[in-house]
Amino acid sequence: MKFDRVTGKCVDISFEGKGVVKLSYGTVFVDGLFPGEEAEIEIEYKRAGSYFGKVHRLITKSKDRIQPKCGVCTACGGCQLQQLSYPAQLEYKTKKVKDAFRRNKIENIEVFPCISAEKPYEYRNKIQVPIGYDPHGHIVSGFYRRGTHKIIPIEKCWIEDYRAGKIILELKKLMKEFHYAPYNEDTRSGLVRHCLIRTSAHYDEIMVTLVTNKDEFRGKNNFVKEWIKRCPNIKSLIQNINTRDTNVILGEKERTLYGPSFIKDSILGVDFLISSKSFFQVNPEQVEKLYRKALDFADLDKSENIFDAYCGIGTISLCAAKYVKKVTGVEIVKEAIIDAKKNAKINSIENAEFLLGDAGEVFEKLVNGGEKYSTVFVDPPRKGLDQKFIDTLLRLEPKKVVYVSCDPETLARDIKLLSEKYLINAVQPVDMFPMTFHVETVVNLILRK
Ligand SMILES: C[S@@+](CC[C@H](N)C(=O)[O-])C[C@H]1O[C@@H](n2cnc3c(N)ncnc32)[C@H](O)[C@@H]1O
């Protein structure tokens, strides 16, 4: 199907950071177009009744448009807002949260202005890059062109920790020296699929996970030795084996090639050991602001037993532990619970327990068994809370609920249900993901008398 080129004016930015252009026959969502701007737009495809396109020629520019640091930010699609000034990004994120609440018919609440980052670039502590060949046969790393599996070569990504670049550079050089080919999706041949890097903000420690298409490969020991020699800040090197024909980056099997199977970082003075598959918040500066806000909202005291649902490696639980009598954390990933227990130990925290299982099921069982919690923290994945969790929460009636969310839509949906018994005391967006359309929000709920 052939689409037209159209001229239109952007009236808003969508949930996914695209410019919204209303035309007589429908809405067009346009990458890299901002409110007030007029452009000639090339419509690329239609999905679910809406059109999607890109700017062919900008006719009028927004005062908030800036020159992006990254030359491929529009093609890569990772930084949807890099061409928008930082103050305008923050305004967009505050509005995005307000809009989600309004859409869910939650009226008369104040959404505070989004908390900004002092370091809106080079903040990400976790990156994953595919490795491949360019058309000239050179080994390249980068990001997939939006919606494709074609690698856009990038030497420097402006949102990732600067230390990651050197490790990738040395990997590419070593692959050439050791004659290791990148994985080819079509022929399913080659060795190296992806390289994942996790950097610690508070310690000079880096974890590298090399995803390979084979279990054993020649010269492995020398390759590892040489990589560590050239990048001595690699504290832990993991091989992940993924031989499947899949888009999923990680395989099941892993082995540690060098150092321990974790690195250490810290949040609000509490140390955390992080292993390769555990969730850890990606922005070290902003996570401290987020957690401080969550703790302020909770206004904890030493007499309290509290619950931390979706606790990951115990980050919120262990930051809260010193203010309460006891904290119980629940998480579905086994490795994360093992990490959480280790983390309690290395910080000599004795009033935290961690349970493995589905948050809704474990919470229901505990509450049915007579356990009481005066404050409940929830930090679910994008899909939000399940009905069982919400029903149990409404039955338990803890005095305070602190909801941390990375998705304003599911957040607002859940808050609407909880507002049956809870007053929405504060809604605070936090910019955990500068340059992207994502926003984190923390909400303070107080039980109505
Ligand atoms: C957004 S992360 C939050 C983790 C932690 N609170 C933090 O700030 O680092 C969500 C966590 O929920 C876990 N999770 C996903 N589904 C779950 C479920 N049904 N029950 C318990 N935990 C779940 C994920 O493994 C992940 O660790």
CATH number of the domain at 210, please: 2.40.50.1070
Who wins on pLDDT, 147 or 318? 318
Interaxial angle between packed helices 387-396 and 408-418, expressed in degrees from 0 to 180 and rounded to the nearest 10:
40
How far is residue 271's CA from residue 268's CA, in Å, rounded to a whole number? 9
Using a 6 Å cutoff on CB, does residue 288 contact ligand 1? no
Could you report the per-residue pLDDT of 124-139, keeping only the tens digit for each? 999 999 999 998 999 9
Q: Comparing C-alpha atoms, which of 358, 354, 357 is closest to residue 383? A: 358
Please tell me the total count of domains within the chain: 3
310 Cβ closer than 6 Å to some ligand 1 atom = yes
CA–centroid distance, residue 110 to ligand 1 (Å): 27
Beta bridge partners of 5: 42
- Read off the CATH number of the domain in which 303 is found: 3.40.50.150
- Beta pairing partners, 256: 238
316 CA: nearest ligand 1 atom: 6
Whether residue 339 is contained in a domain is answered as yes
The pick from 125, 277, 279 for probing ligand 1's pocket by mutation, whose C-beta has the most ligand atoms within 8 angstroms, reads: 279
**168-215 pLDDT, tens per residue?**
999 999 999 999 999 998 899 999 999 999 999 999 999 999 999 999
| Rounded-to-integer distance, Cα 318 and Cα 352, Å | 7
Rounded to whole angstroms, the Cα distance separating 364 from 396 reads 9
210, 232, 266: which is the final residue of a domain? 266
Distance (Å, rounded) from C-alpha 140 to C-alpha 173?
10
The residue among 77, 46, 214, 225 whose CA lies nearest residue 142 is 77
* Ligand 1 atom having least distance to the Cα of 380: 10
pLDDT digits (tens, 9 = 90+) for 335-355: 899 999 999 999 999 999 999
| 354 & 262 share domain | no
Q: Is the CB of 381 under 6 A from ligand 1?
A: yes
**Residues 253-277 pLDDT 10s:** 999 999 999 999 999 999 999 988 8
pLDDT value at residue 198: 97
- Each residue's pLDDT tens digit, 416-445: 999 999 999 999 999 999 999 999 999 999
Ligand 1: distance of its center to the CA of 358 in Å? 9
**C-alpha distance across the termini of the chain, in Å:** 59
Judged by DSSP in three states, 343 sits in helix
Residue 79 has pLDDT above 80, yes or no: yes
Closest ligand 1 atom to residue 312 Cα is 27
Say if CB 54 and CB 39 are below 8 A apart. no
Nearest residue (CA) to ligand 1, atom 25: 333
Domain-terminating residue out of 208, 235, 266: 266
Kindly give the number of the ligand 1 atom that is closest to the alpha carbon of 377.
Answer: 6
Q: Pick the residue with more confidence: 444 or 73?
A: 444
> What order do you get walking across the sheet with 139-144 strand by strand?
151-153, 139-144, 126-133, 192-199, 206-212, 234-241, 253-258
Atom 12 (ligand 1): residue with closest C-alpha? 310
Return the ligand 1 atom nearest residue 386 CA.
19
Asked if the structure places residue 436 within a domain, the reply is: yes
Say what the alpha-carbon torsion angle 12, 18, 20, 25 is, to the nearest 10 degrees.
-170
In angstroms, what is the span from residue 393 Cα to ligand 1's centroid? 17
Burial class (CB in 10 A: 0-12, 13-18, 19+), 122: middle
**Are 182 and 319 in the same domain?**
no
* Closest CA to ligand 1's atom 6: 311
The helix (H) or strand (E) run that includes residue 55 is strand 50-60
Q: CA nearest 128: which of 93, 100, 167?
A: 167
* Domain shared by 301 and 413, yes or no: yes
Whether residues 412 and 299 fall in one domain: yes
Integer Rg of the chain from CA: 23
Look at residues 206, 125, 201 and name the one whose alpha carbon lies nearest to residue 171: 206
Which residues does residue 273 pair with via DSSP β-bridges, in sequence order? 264
CA of 385 to the centre of ligand 1 (A): 11
49: CATH: 2.40.50.140
360: tokens are 């809704």
End-of-domain residue from the set 235, 266, 297: 266
pTM (2 d.p.): 0.93
Percent of the chain at pLDDT > 70 equals 99
Residues 99 and 160 in one domain: no
Strands 38-47 and 19-23, sheet pairing: unpaired
Nearest CA to 289 among 429, 132, 123? 429
Tell me how far apart the alpha carbons of residues 190 and 180 are, in angstroms, rounded to a whole number: 7
Q: Are 218 and 98 part of one and the same domain?
A: no
**CA pair distance 30, 33, nearest whole angstrom:** 6
Contact in structure between 243 and 213 (CB atoms under 8 Å): yes
Q: Which domain holds residue 99?
A: 94-118+283-447
CA distance 382 to 396: 24
Same domain (yes/no): 235, 349: no
| The pLDDT of residue 310 is above 80 | yes
Strand partners, 58: 39
Do residues 140 and 244 both lie within one domain? Answer: yes
**How does strand 234-241 pair with strand 206-212?**
parallel
Is residue 87 in some structural domain?
Answer: no
> b/e per residue, 166-202, with b = 16+ CB within 10 A?
ebbebbbebbeebebebbeeeeeebbbbbbbbbbbbe
Tell me, using a 6 A CB cutoff, whether residue 333 lines ligand 1: yes
For residue 222, what are the contacts with CB-CB under 8 A and spacing of at least 6? 178
Chain-wide mean pLDDT for the chain?
95
Residue 379, ligand 1, Cβ within 6 A: yes
Which of 125, 319, 332 is the best mutation target for the ligand 1 pocket, counting ligand atoms within 8 Å of the beta carbon and taking the most? 332
User: Would residue 278 count as lying in a domain?
Assistant: no
Q: How is residue 113 annotated by DSSP?
A: P
311 CB near ligand 1 (under 6 Å): yes
Res. 3 pLDDT band, cuts 50 70 90 = low
pLDDT on residue 77: 78
Report whether pLDDT(246) > 60. Answer: yes
CA dihedral 280, 439, 404, 164 (to 10 degrees): 10
Same domain, 168 and 57: no
Q: Is 315 in the pocket of ligand 1 (CB under 6 A)?
A: yes
Is residue 78 one of the residues assigned to a domain?
no
Residue 286 CA, chain-centre distance (Å), reads 12
Residue 201 lies in a domain: yes
The pLDDT of residue 150 is above 90: no
Assess whether 110 and 208 both reside in one domain.
no
CA 336 to ligand 1 center in whole angstroms: 9
- In the chain, count of helices (H) and strands (E)? 10, 21
Q: Do both 102 and 41 map to the same domain?
A: no
Phi, psi of 340 (to 5 degrees): -60, -45
Tokens 């529009």 belong to which residue? 74
Helix (H) or strand (E) holding 339: helix 334-346
Q: Is 332 in the pocket of ligand 1 (CB under 6 A)?
A: yes
Task: Please choose from 265, 318, 331, 378 the residue to mutate so as to test ligand 1's pocket, defined by most ligand atoms within 8 A of CB.
Answer: 331
- Tokens 């999923």 sit on residue: 248
Lowest mean pLDDT across 52-61, 78-87, 148-157, 207-216: 148-157
- Active-site annotation holds for 406: yes
Q: Is residue 80 part of a domain?
A: no
Same domain as 197, residue 318: no
Is residue 112 situated within a structural domain? yes
